[in-house]
Structure 1
């Protein structure tokens, strides 16, 4: 049965009694779910750099081999623990043991399948996984802050005209849940993923409003996030995955016949997303708020040009107007209100050049050695 959470008015921070949730300083224990993911592995790195202790979860321990080796080589094993919670994060109580004694929870995993024909494949783990870990955290009195990794698509496809109005943290996607009602819609798979993130986030805010737990909630809405690669990449990544998007621009032999010049790709440096999480552990600014991870706009042609300046010997696909790319109405003109996010990051976003080059450099190293071997 497809679960839906209907459009709701975003609660203000004042709606929650935990507005003065205690800070979680370095030295505290943070539960980080899906630590083997591209974004989560960077969050783990930044947490350890700042002096936190990290308990990471994965579905199976073997999937965390690369992340474990990278992190323990730099930080040792005393402040890092990785545990397996099983394949089904939608199973009730799956996180009960993982939350024991932690001071904060950062929840990141959600299925990414842009070609899915069955929305429930994404809705169930996204919504139930989120609610399961919120319920587990509610039972653990040590938890002070809960942070959740969402998607910028939750503030795109809104009722606004983004060519005329600035997108803010109070905006909500009003399109994707309607699209997935039609199994014949050609964009079903794309909107099924987006809708799963929107519905899961709404479910989290609804939980906070109804249950009034002792911890605060902060949601970080990621865009196209790129940067260094710390997680395992056992083969050329899927073209519809974040790392696959970068790899497809410079892969040898080419994986694409053309790349789009459409300038509506909303991007953010991996370390900026990670730092929004880490800095939110101690700052009062993001308590019970949504954070928009959007540093700017770019295109795949612009990304190729950045990479061509570093690796001119590679063969880059030509610009092609009808090449596939992610679009939303007015996306190439959209502006986002990210004053709060910049304040949390010390005043500015990292550069696109550093994000793209650092990602491509790590992927080329993995590609050259035949990807990550068991």
Structure 2
């Protein structure tokens, strides 16, 4: 990104999420730092909002039982997993401290809800795999951390508008087990009966939680998951053959 991009914008959102892990660690870190280097050349930029990931928060060896509440004070261990998200955010934070940049970091979970792009991104592909295969590649300790794209967008705007915004913000509307997720989907769309394919022991499984306190202090009122699920499935219906007879018989039975 050239310096001229930042010149006309008093605030800047930088997204560092990447689909590839090990192959893009250094480019992800360097790309984030290059944007910040450009920012310090433009006095009119007052704040930078970095889109990181909840993966930079919880990926470590700490126990994550059902009585654990994860918050912004948690940091992932890059030697454990999730190197890209963790190292890019860490590099940005150290650079911001060194050069006096007002940096606010957003750490969203798996982003679902309505989408504008014509094709499915990684989040939607993960959600589709859950519906059609009963699998979730982003599962943590038996569940998924979820947030609606509209809440993520609102959080970024509020971080610009609220002068007191600072530090990191975990953006997770809810942490849900596969059983809880499939129950909501089954109620909304009875043909998507996932419960029997996820195991009889699922009702007893409990997940850790992610604190919403700081996000709510920013002004976020998280959209209920049943609404997010419905809007996500409607997107998948439009962009895939999710409810075609062939797909239903071959993947959901």
TM-score by length of 2: 0.81
Q: Check conservation: 1:158, 1:171, Cα contact below 8 A.
A: no
Q: Structure 1 stretches of 5 or more lacking a match? A: 1-93, 180-190, 322-330, 370-374
Task: Write the distance in 1 (CA, Å) between the matches of 2:24 and 2:3.
Answer: 22
Residues 1:356 and 2:235 aligned together: no
Q: Write the deviation string for residues 141-199 of structure 1: whole angstroms up to 9, x where unpaired.
A: 1111100111112221346434355322122112xx224xxxxxxxxxxx3xx111100
Instruction: Describe the superposition over 1:198-245 as per-residue Cα deviations: whole angstroms up to 9, x where unpaired.
Output: 0000101110111224xx110000111111011120xxx47xx21012
CA contact (8 A) 1:95 1:136 kept: yes
What's 2:14 paired with? 107
Give yes or no for contact 2:143–2:178 (8 Å, CA) kept in 1.
no
2:107 partner SS:
strand
- C-alpha distance 108-332 of structure 1, shift in aligned 2 (>3 A): farther
> 2:72 maps to which residue?
169
> 1:61 aligns to what?
none
Alignment-derived partner of residue 290 in structure 1: 168
Q: Which residue of 2 aligns with 1:266?
A: 145
Work out whether 1:336 is the aligned partner of 2:210.
Answer: yes
Any idea what the Cα deviations from partners look like across 1:37-77, whole Å, max 9, x if unmatched? xxxxxxxxxxxxxxxxxxxxxxxxxxxxxxxxxxxxxxxxx
What residue number does 2:158 align with? 279
Q: Whole-Å Cα distance in 1 between the matches of residues 118 and 143 of structure 2?
A: 29
CA positional deviation for 1:359: 1.1
Gaps of 5+ in 2: 200-204, 243-253
| Cα shift at 1:282 | 1.1
Aligned partner of 2:79 among 166, 178, 195: 178
User: Could you tell me which residue of structure 1 aligns to residue 250 of structure 2?
Assistant: none
Give 1 or 2: higher helix fraction: 2
Aligned residue-pair number? 233
**Aligned: 1:200 with 2:88:** yes
Correspondences of 1:207-222 after superposition (within 5 Å): 207-213=95-101, 216-222=102-108
Residues 263 and 297, structure 1, Cα contact 8 Å, conserved in 2: no
Deviation at 1:263, TM superposition (A): 4.6
How far apart, in 2, do the equivalents of 1:204 and 1:316 lie? 41
Matches of 2:33 and 2:106 in 1, distance apart? Answer: 17
Q: Aligned-residue CA RMSD in angstroms?
A: 2.6
Q: TM-score, normalised by structure 1?
A: 0.57
